Amino acid sequence: MGERQKKLLKAIVESYIKNVKPVGSKSLCKKFNCSSATIRNDMMYLEELGYLEKTHTSSGRIPSEKGYHYYVENLMKLKDITGEDVLKLQTILNNKDLVLSDAINKCMEIISDITNYTSIVLGKNSYNNVLKQISIIPIDEKKVVSVLVTNTGHVANRQVIIPEDISVKEIVKTCEIINKSLVGTPLNEILEKLEFVIKPEIAKTMQKYEELCSFFYDAFYEFKDLNKDDVFFGGKTNILKQPEYNEPEKIKEIIEKLENVELVKNIETDDKEIKVYIGEENNFDPDTTVIKTSYNVDGEVGTLAIIGPKRMEYDKVVTLLNFLKNYIER
């Protein structure tokens, strides 16, 4: 492919992304200072190579998946992120009242608004949330509030009824033993450790050890949702704003896929680079592009992903994801 053909392909891809209209030779003549016949010949050559496709409704051309790939890998230049967008993201990222996961989710929501695509954050809390502390706060003789804090900043509380045959004093003492023995334990291992570590320990000093272990088993079970992988959507319906999704059947199809949690979880990646998956290769939907990368901040890991049409503003999305990833991992 010659230099003029490369520039021509770049111009066609960027024109189609912006205008959603097949590109004809006449619209490119002035830009390239060439005759319409020369441009048509180059477009036919690019079509023969598989980088362009002809539509049924126009004599113009649109990029193929291969054309988008070549553009992303060889022709695309990253956009400068605007000062306004930087400020929006930095305001969230510098908010000390937000835990990391909440800050990331809010930033991805902003990116979704900026791009009009759907953003997804996939976390792995079951592997990274470990017990930092559990506290018992008595309300009265029959009720307490259990407060669980994890290393990643999650704070969750539940009101728990005290069984008649154990006292608040025994519960508080057992809580002290749990904090001494189980701090640093992944949440998905807590219930097993209660049975094989805590129960033998409290059995040495407390008669009602079975009841006490059962109480804390129930209390920790209430926090089971923290053990599940997080799936967060930003602008879940934004993708439907794109003209590719103006037919009822296509709308129904993409919504069903976004509602399919297991399918969405397949987007997860451990790749440290930002990677672009166009069409068939993304294993989500053949008419979409998925741009994704992983993040790792102090052991809290997950996936950042943007889903949009194949006619996506690749330069803008990659720039925004790159900014967010670099900022949180610095």
Q: What CATH number is associated with residue 278?
A: 3.30.450.40
Domain that includes residue 101, residue range? 83-124+229-329
Do 240 and 305 fall within a single domain? yes
Total number of domains constituting the chain: 3
Q: Model confidence over 233-251: pLDDT tens digits?
A: 999 999 999 999 988 899 9
Q: Model confidence over 11-24: pLDDT tens digits?
A: 999 999 999 999 99
Q: What is the rounded average pLDDT for all residues in the chain?
A: 90
Do 67 and 54 fall within a single domain? yes
C-alpha closest to that of 19 among 11, 7, 30, 9 = 11
Do 141 and 214 fall within a single domain? yes
User: CA-to-CA distance for 143 and 137, rounded, in angstroms?
Assistant: 9
The two three-digit tokens of residue 55, written as one number: 């539509």
Which residues does residue 75 pair with via DSSP β-bridges, in sequence order? none
**What percent of the chain has pLDDT above 70?**
95
Do 209 and 266 fall within a single domain? no
Q: What is the pLDDT of residue 150?
A: 83
Do 220 and 237 fall within a single domain? no
Strand order in the sheet with 300-309: 231-234, 118-123, 300-309, 288-297, 275-278
In the predicted structure, residue 225 carries a pLDDT above the cut 80? no
Do 220 and 178 fall within a single domain? yes
Do 182 and 216 fall within a single domain? yes
The two three-digit tokens of residue 244, written as one number: 């590719």
User: CA-to-CA distance for 181 and 185, rounded, in angstroms?
Assistant: 9
The two three-digit tokens of residue 267, written as one number: 């987007």
Q: Answer for the pair 110, 127: CB distance below 8 angstroms, yes or no.
A: no
Do 222 and 236 fall within a single domain? no
The two three-digit tokens of residue 127, written as one number: 């592997």
- CATH number for position 13: 1.10.10.10
Do 154 and 215 fall within a single domain? yes
Domain boundary among 203, 227, 251: 227
Whole-prediction pTM: 0.72
Domain boundary among 37, 58, 75: 75
The total number of residues shown for the chain amounts to 330
Q: Answer for the pair 314, 114: CB distance below 8 angstroms, yes or no.
A: no
Q: What is the pLDDT of residue 126?
A: 42
Q: Answer for the pair 41, 61: CB distance below 8 angstroms, yes or no.
A: no
* pLDDT mean over 167-189: 91
Q: Answer for the pair 156, 198: CB distance below 8 angstroms, yes or no.
A: no
Helices marked H in 1-124: 3-19, 26-32, 36-48, 65-70, 83-93, 100-115
Residue 131's identity, in one-letter code, is L
In the predicted structure, residue 63 carries a pLDDT above the cut 90? yes
User: CA-to-CA distance for 49 and 26, rounded, in angstroms?
Assistant: 21
* pLDDT mean over 183-194: 88
The two three-digit tokens of residue 26, written as one number: 């006449």
- Non-local (6+) Cβ contacts of 154 within 8 A are 99, 101, 125, 129, 148, 226
Do 247 and 315 fall within a single domain? yes
Query: Other C-beta atoms within 10 Å of 142: how many?
Result: 11
In the predicted structure, residue 227 carries a pLDDT above the cut 70? no
